Amino acid sequence: MSTVDGVGLGLRFAFLDELVERSGDPLPALRWLECHPENYMRRGGRFPAGLTRLRERWPFATHGLSMSLGGVDPLDGEYLRTLRGFLDEVQSPWHSDHLCVSIAHGRASHDLLSMSFNEELVRHLVARIRQAQDRLSTPLAVENVSYYALPPDSDLDEGDFVSAVCAEADCLLMLDVNNVYVNAFNHGQDARAILTKMPLERVVQMHVAGHFYEEPDFILDTHDTAIVDPVYELLEWTLARTGRVPVLLERDSEIPAWDDLYAELVRLDALWRAAPERGRAPRSRGARGTGALTRNTGRLPAGQADDAGGMLRHGNTP
Ligand SMILES: [Fe+2]
């Protein structure tokens, strides 16, 4: 039995073959992987074959890019059916996607477009999260995104917005600490104040990444540089409050040499190990929630259960 726990790495094609070659190495700071299902569903060839090889060594969590929970196009039933099969095959303990719009009028934006923060859009997201959750057998976690402008119809702050969505949909949170840092930096806010309002008891996984300083006072969330010290510090601050939640490094481009990438994992692993034990299980689908619209929708998939440390397990890896 293997568990998504400790520090993981977002799998990218750029280093998939190298990771397969290294899958016999000890690599103690790399304990799990995250993949984008869109890159592997209904595809043959060496990348899905590589994924199969990597699953023999590491447990996987999955991270989607195209559910478009904030959009107005109907959820794509064919996508969700295929996704459900993929998640069941990979035995991902949870599946995350973003609180954003990524498809409009049937066309993918190839960007994660942020939304206004207001009650109407809380209700909109809650309805669509429930629809998506009903079609998946894997607990759904939503991710806070980076944004560069806030429309004038936003009357909630980011923390209150995300908290309301998670409470009313009774879903998990995939907390991107780098996104909180980027938003706080660009909009002159206090990142710790934003995080304090987030539903930290629902966090099932965290993301960290590097970013690009387009101007001295403006960050682009590019995931193409090493993590900066303030994000490490913010992660440490957050882990002190959540306990040992699985942490994932996202590196999308300008991929460094393996030793440099692994050095980041080692630094993250030290932070994770220094954090306190998780006090209680993260909120999961089926847990009784606190929001007014909360419901008890089901149970964790077969093979997964909360343990004393609050982690969800799966049994696909020796
Ligand atoms: Fe992220």
| pLDDT tens profile 181-191 | 999 999 999 99
**Residue 302: which CATH number?**
3.20.20.150
Q: Which residue would you say has higher pLDDT here, 100 or 311?
A: 100
Helices (H), the chain: 13-22, 46-55, 77-90, 119-135, 158-169, 177-187, 191-197, 229-242, 258-274
Residue 21 CA to ligand 1 center (angstroms) comes to: 26
Residue 146 CA to ligand 1 center (angstroms) comes to: 9
Q: What is the pLDDT of residue 307?
A: 32
Q: What is the pLDDT of residue 115?
A: 87
User: Token digits for 140?
Assistant: 């759904």
Task: Give residues with Cβ within 8 angstroms of 68, minimum separation 6.
Answer: 75, 100, 101, 102, 103, 104
Nearest to 230 by CA among 193, 180, 175, 174: 180
Least confident among 84-88, 102-106, 128-132, 171-175: 102-106
Do 274 and 240 form a contact (C-beta atoms < 8 A)?
no
Q: Is residue 230 over pLDDT 50?
A: yes
Rounded to whole angstroms, the Cα distance separating 277 from 270 reads 14
Residue 145 CA to ligand 1 center (angstroms) comes to: 7
Helix (H, G, I), strand (E, B) or coil at 226: coil
Instruction: Tally Cβ neighbours within 10 Å of residue 316.
Output: 15
Q: What is the pLDDT of residue 280?
A: 52
Residue 221 CA to ligand 1 center (angstroms) comes to: 10
Per the structure, the complete domain to which residue 22 belongs is given by 2-314
Domain tally, the chain? 1
Q: What is the pLDDT of residue 102?
A: 81
Instruction: Provide the 8-state DSSP code for 94.
Output: -
Residue 232 CA to ligand 1 center (angstroms) comes to: 15
Residue 170 CA to ligand 1 center (angstroms) comes to: 20
Residue 165 CA to ligand 1 center (angstroms) comes to: 18
Q: What is the pLDDT of residue 7?
A: 98
Residue 227 CA to ligand 1 center (angstroms) comes to: 13
Instruction: Provide the 8-state DSSP code for 312.
Output: B
Residue 174 CA to ligand 1 center (angstroms) comes to: 8
Task: Give residues with Cβ within 8 angstroms of 49, minimum separation 6.
Answer: none
Do 155 and 103 form a contact (C-beta atoms < 8 A)?
no
Q: Quick one: what percent of the chain has pLDDT higher than 90?
A: 76
